[in-house]
Chain A
Amino acid sequence: MTFFLQLIVSGFSLGMVYALIAIGFVIILKCSKAFNIAQGHFVMIGGYLGFTFLVTFHLPVWASLLAAIAVAIVMGLLIERLTLRPLIGQPVLAVIMMTIALATVFEGLATLIWGGEYKAYHGVLPTITLRIGEISVPPEMLIGIMVSVVTVAILMLLFRYTKSGLAMRATAEDEQVVQSAGIRVTTVYALSWVIACVVGVISGIILGGVSGVMVGMSQVGLKAFAVVLLGGVNSIGGAIIAGITLGMLENIAAGYLDPLLPAGGGLANIFPFIVIIIVLVFRPHGLFGLVEIERI
């Protein structure tokens, strides 16, 4: 029982980070209908930025976070202006291919700048230890959960109550109508990419504090896709619930089934994909997504 509860708790905290990554993805999707395959690479860059500012430059945590966010903002603006704006009006595949190309470039850049090695900064982030009976919450994760909750809350408020949030939701609905209403669509797109970058970088720093960074960390983006699909592509709340569910399920599956499998299992890596296939076959719009109705 303790083993089970331990799996649940660590799954929950992992799931919260998945949710945060997935939200970055959902935001771009909500505004510009673009599927950002490179979201996992933002996370990886975030992890390396955290390493640079915290370990190489010895900045305090708050300053590192601000610096990383500043870099993320510049990155988001550049990406939108240089690569995605020329593609407005192009088919979906072009945009997806562009983000894949961006992912390749980021991978190359990360290897170029940071050498592509495994970097760890354990114990640099503040930790809170919490034990409930036999179960311990991973200390770095607790701070991660808090940051995630705050970020998610800010984003939800932004979407619901601010004017730019309204503009972003409207752009998702219909680009042309929004333009005729006098809203600058390009600004909205830029904003959404900036938010996605910032969210990705923050989750990268959290994940980096827990398990270190390496180039392969961008694979976590693939898990975020499973989260997004399970939750429904245009639902932030769905992303949170799905993130937590998937984190728990993945931990339980890996904990109980891996010992039974030959070749050491590795079920945690493949689990998100099995979820993706099942969701796509049986409930393509996810748990909380909107069912799209098509017209000719």
Chain B
Amino acid sequence: MALPSGTFNQSYAQDMAIFRTKTQWILLFAFLAFLFTCPLYSGDRILTILTIIGITVISVHGLNILTGYCNQISIGHAGFMAVGAYTSGMLTAHLGWSFWAALPCAALMAGLVGILFGLPSLKVKGFYLIMATIAAQFIIIWFILQFRNITGGGDGLAVPRPEIGDFVFKSKASYFYLVMIFACLATFAATNIVRTRAGRAFIAIRDNELAAEVMGVNLWAYKLLAFFIGCVFAGVAGALLVHYVAFATVDQFPFMNSVWYLGMLIVGGMGSTAGVIFGVVSLKLLDELVVIVGPMLAVVVSPQAAASLSLIMRGLIIIIFLIFEPRGLAHRWQMVKAYYRLWPFSH
């Protein structure tokens, strides 16, 4: 039930359309209008949360193309974000480049590093690839720490805020707009990349690598392309993150973040653009819930215990989703939609 009852596709263009009915268009514009007027009626705290959600959405879109569509599992995504972050940070801080020139370089650099660590994917898959990407995460962070005279090492690196002409993206609201524009572009790009020839090749590789190769999909090129695209998204997200905080440290890109990005994909639903947004928003909001409930818990138990309880809860959420809803929230959302469209004749 991809379409509401009574709607039929009569042309190829209609078949390909993402937004098929007027209602969908109205909902889209209503959502965009709501999103871009958020700063008018929400405080700094909420804007910060939304900005971080936007940055994470960009990053997880990349991971979704790589893992959800091409089945090349990566647990080093935070490491690739760090590559983009430090590239952009060093170019703007040391060489005085503008953010707008540094951002494409950051994306390109992250993509190239992604290709480098994606090389093992030509020979291995599944667990082996996971190990390669975990290795990527640790090696990247180690390199950043070693080259301390240009990256700042453990002390971090002060990064300027982006600017257009005389306007500096200094306030929370202005940066919120910047991030949201990028997040919308990323969502648009991610949706459409998987509808291209390359996207279909990714899906073929995911479903059966050997069969895809026999059908003429160039595994070598497309796997590396998937790594490149996935890491470009990560690079952009990383650059946006450090320019937002105006400071770059390796602590912003911990190993657990890489794991948690994959967790977001699982909760949201792999191989679905909507799933990315569902996953990121729900888990980030959960994090905020932990921030709010944590101090209340800390009154009852020790603060340390409260912190470990939140860790346990995160693990349990992934466990529960894996057992009871392995296809994620996006699938559940589809079911709800189908139920609503077919009601009261559900067969």
Contacts and interface: CB of A to CB of B under 8 A. Distances in A.
B131 A94 contact: no
Interface in B249-270: 256, 259, 262-263, 266
A113 to B, nearest CB: 9
B146 A262 contact: yes
B115 to A, nearest CB: 13
A104 B154 CA distance: 25
Nearest to A282: B123
Contact of A100 (B211, B214, B259, B307): B259
Contacts of A295: 210
A104 B259 CA distance: 10
B188 interface: no
Given A93-B73, A101-B319, A277 B308 contact: no
A104 B318 contact: yes
A274 B138 CA distance: 10
Given A111-B308, A270-B139, A104 B314 contact: yes
Given A102-B315, A274-B139, A92 B326 contact: no
Most chain A CB inside 10 Å of its own CB: which residue of B117, B132, B214: B132
B11 interface: no
A133 interface: no
B308 A284 contact: no
A112 B305 contact: yes
Interface residues of A, number: 46
B142 interface: yes
B131 A281 contact: no
Given A104-B318, A107-B311, A274-B139, A263 B128 contact: no
A252 to B, nearest CB: 18
Interface residues of B, number: 54
Contacts of B23: none
Contact of A112 (B131, B312, B322): B312
Chain A interface mostly: helix
Contact of A276 (B132, B149, B309): B132
Contact of B120 (A87, A92, A105, A284): A284
Contacts of A294: 210
Nearest to B149: A262
A263 B135 contact: no
A237 interface: no
A96 B73 contact: yes
Nearest to A283: B123
Nearest to A85: B323
A98 B211 contact: no
Most chain A CB inside 10 Å of its own CB: which residue of B130, B263, B314: B130
Interface string A74-108: 00000000010011001011101110111111011
Contacts of B304: 111, 115-116
B326 A296 contact: no
Given A111-B307, A270-B138, A261 B146 contact: yes
Interface in A255-276: 261-263, 266, 269-270, 273-274, 276
Given A111-B307, A229-B128, A276-B134, 14 more contacts: A87-B323, A96-B73, A96-B130, A104-B259, A104-B312, A105-B319, A108-B312, A112-B309, A116-B304, A229-B131, A273-B135, A273-B138, A273-B139, A277-B117
11 contacts: A35-B130, A96-B73, A96-B130, A97-B322, A100-B75, A101-B263, A105-B315, A225-B134, A262-B146, A269-B138, A280-B120
